[in-house]
Amino acid sequence: MDSSNHNHQHTPNRFGVIPTPVRLNADTEYTGKGVTVAFLDSGFYPHPDLVTPANRVVAYEDLTKERSLFSTGPVESWQWHGTQTSVAAAGNGQLSNGVYRGLAHESELVLAKVSERGRITEEQIAAGIHWVIKNRERYNIRVLNISLGGDEDVPCSKSIVDQATEEAISHGIVVIAAAGNSGAEGRHSIPPANSPSVITVGGYTDHNLLNTTDFDLYHSNFGVTADGTVKPEIVAPAMWVAAPILPGTKSYERAEAISRLAAAMDYELPDLARELKEAAELPEQITNADEIRAYVEAALRQEKIVAAHYQHVDGTSFAAPIVASVVAQMIQANPTLTPGAVKNILISTADRIVTKPVIRQGYGLVNAGRAVELARTERHALNVVGCKPPRVENGRLMFVFHDDNANSVSVAGDFNGWSHVATPLKRNESGLWSTEIVVPRTGQLEYKFIINGQRWIEDPSNGMKAPNNYGGLNSVLVIE
C-alpha cells in the first residue's frame, strides 16, 4: 500500500465519528511519550499510523511462530483485530490527517501475536503474558492491553491466564482487559478480565454526540466472578470508535474507492464511476449521478466507513485500549505510579451514570482528563500505595484509603452500625488515610467509605461487593 497516493481525501466524511481525545475531553499535552504499551492479540499489521513517519513498534513477537517478521507480507484475516486495537490506542492518525489519533500516539509499542491461524487458547494467552513479563525491562513495558479472553470464569487459583496476569501486575505492569461482549446473555467476565487485580473495562455509548449526558451501557460482561469480585471496574467508549480498515484487503480498496466517489463533483462522477466500478463494486444498473450518490451514501453508512481508510467499530475490545492509552498518559505524567495507584486513580475519578445499574458499570465512565491530572499532582510516595483491601494485622483490622483531595474520611459498616462518624480515618505520614479497629465478629461484613462527610463510596481497593438497598453496592469483607 502506498500511503503517499493523494488521489483521494484523508479527511473524515460526513459520517465521521468523534475523535477519542475530543470525546473524552482528554489532556492532549500528554501523548504517552516515553511509555511502552504492550498488546496481546490475534495478529498485527505494520499500519502507517504505527510505523510512519517513525516506527514506534520496538518489538514484535509471534508466540505461535507463524509469522516471525513484522512485515507486510500476505494480509491475513487474523491481523484485523490487533491492528485495530493498537491503532485505536496509539495510532498517530497518519492516514486521517491526524484526526483519528489515539491518546497515546507517541508511545512505543510491543506487539505479541498469540493466535494460530486466528485460533487462541488459554495456553497461548498465558505464554504471551509470560513473554511480556520476561521482556518488561528490556523494552520498559509499563502497560499491557489484552482484548481477548480465555474459556470460562473460574477462580484465579485455577486459571493459568489469571495467575500469569497477577504475576505481571506484581512486576509493575498495569494490565487492562476487555470485559467481553456477552452481558446480554448474562455472562460474567472470563480470564484475564475476571482477575482481581486487572483493570477490567466494560463499554458505553454516547451515540456519537458531543457534550451529551445521554449515555447508554454497552452489553458488556458483568457481575460477580468466581472469586467474588465484581467486574468491570470502569467503562469506556465501546461504540463509534474509529479504527483502521486493514490495508491490502478488498475492504480497504472498496472503502477508498467509495470515499473517492463520495468526494467527487457531479461532473466527475460518470468517468470516475467507470474507473472505480470494480473496486467500488458498483452494480451494472447504476449509471447516473443521483443513483451513484445514493449507492455511495448507503455503502458508507452500512459499512461504517468514516474516512477513506477508517471505519467505526464497537466492542469492549476497543474500550480497553482506550483506557490503556489513558494509563500511558498517566504514567508519562508521573512515571512513579504503581499498578495499584493507577487503578485507584482511574476508578476514583470515574463518573457513574446515575440512571444505569451500578453493577454493570463499576465505578462509571473513564474520565481521562481528571485521571491524568490526579496522576500528575500525586503528592505522596506512590511506592507504598498497595491500596490493598482491609486486612488483619496483630489482631486489628486495618483500613487504608487513598484520596489526596479529601478533607475527611471515615468508614461505616456492619461493625459500627453504619455510623458515618464512629470510625474516622487519619492521614498518615505517607499521605494515605488509615485506621484500625478491633477485629469484629467472623463472617461476612459490608462497609463503605464516607468522604468529607457526604460522599459514600465503595472501597476502590476491594473488588468484592454486594448490592445494597439503595440501588448501589457495598464493599464486602470476610472475617475468618
Residue 146 lies in a domain: yes
Residues 171 and 37 in one domain: yes
Which residues does 49 contact at the CB level (< 8 Å), separation at least 6?
87, 91, 92, 93, 94, 95, 244
Q: Which long-range contacts (CB under 8 A, 24 or more apart) does 250-258 make?
A: 251/303, 252/1, 252/309, 253/279, 254/279, 254/280, 254/281, 254/303, 255/303, 255/305, 255/308, 255/309, 255/311, 256/8, 256/308, 256/309, 258/296, 258/299, 258/300, 258/303, 258/305
Residues 355 and 470 in one domain: no
Q: Which of 308, 324, 353 is the last residue of a domain?
A: 308
pLDDT score recorded for residue 387: 42
Residue 15 lies in a domain: no
Single-letter amino acid, residue 180: G
Residues paired with 456 in a beta bridge: 450
Residue 14 lies in a domain: no
- Contact between 229 and 464 (Cβ < 8 Å): yes
Among the listed residues 367, 365, 457, 361, the one whose alpha carbon sits nearest the alpha carbon of residue 406 = 457
- Helices 339-348 & 316-333, crossing angle to 10 degrees? 110
Q: Which of 354, 376, 398 is the last residue of a domain?
A: 376
| Helix (H/G/I), strand (E/B), else coil: 91 | coil
Residues 301 and 320 in one domain: no
Residues 161 and 120 in one domain: yes
Residue 215 pLDDT > 90: yes
Lowest mean pLDDT segment, chosen from 188-192, 346-350, 441-445:
441-445
- Please compute the mean of the pLDDT values over residues 2-15 and round it to a whole number: 74
Residues 199 and 340 in one domain: yes
Residue 8 lies in a domain: no
| Helix (H/G/I), strand (E/B), else coil: 391 | strand
Residue 5 lies in a domain: no
Q: What is the pLDDT of residues 411-428, one digit of tens each?
A: 999 999 999 999 999 998
| Helix (H/G/I), strand (E/B), else coil: 450 | strand
Residue 430 pLDDT > 80: no
Residues 415 and 323 in one domain: no
- Between CA 3 and CA 328 the distance in angstroms is 28
Residues 291 and 400 in one domain: no
Residue 122 lies in a domain: yes
- pTM (2 decimals)? 0.90
Domain that holds residue 428: 384-479
Phi, psi of 50 (to 5 degrees): -110, -25
pLDDT band for 294, please (50, 70, 90 cuts). Answer: very high
Residue 38 lies in a domain: yes
Which residues does 233 contact at the CB level (< 8 Å), separation at least 6?
199, 200, 201, 343, 346, 347, 362, 363, 463
The number of helix segments (H) and strand segments (E) in the chain equals 13, 22
The single residue listed with the C-alpha cell 493523494 is 6
Residue 449 lies in a domain: yes
Q: What is the pLDDT of residues 339-363, one digit of tens each?
A: 988 998 999 899 999 999 999 999 9
What is the maximum span of the chain, computed from C-alpha positions, in angstroms? 84
Q: What is the pLDDT of residues 237-283, one digit of tens each?
A: 999 999 999 999 999 999 999 999 999 998 999 999 999 999 999 99
Q: What is the pLDDT of residues 200-213, one digit of tens each?
A: 999 999 999 999 99
Residues 94 and 117 in one domain: yes
Residue 384 pLDDT > 70: no
Structural domain total, the chain = 3
pLDDT score recorded for residue 388: 57
- Between CA 159 and CA 171 the distance in angstroms is 19
Residues 150 and 227 in one domain: yes
Residues 203 and 283 in one domain: no
Residues 367 and 467 in one domain: no
Residues 239 and 334 in one domain: yes
Q: What is the CATH number of the domain that holds 458?
A: 2.60.40.10
Average pLDDT, the chain: 92
- Between CA 205 and CA 221 the distance in angstroms is 15
Q: What is the pLDDT of residues 119-137, one digit of tens each?
A: 999 999 999 999 999 999 9
Q: What is the CATH number of the domain that holds 222?
A: 3.40.50.200
- Contact between 315 and 304 (Cβ < 8 Å): no
Joined together, the cell numbers standing for residue 254 give: 472498496
Which residues does 86 contact at the CB level (< 8 Å), separation at least 6?
39, 41, 44, 47, 50, 109, 111, 321
**Bridging pattern class, strands 473-479 and 310-313:** unpaired
Positive or negative, the Cα torsion across 330, 26, 209, 345? positive
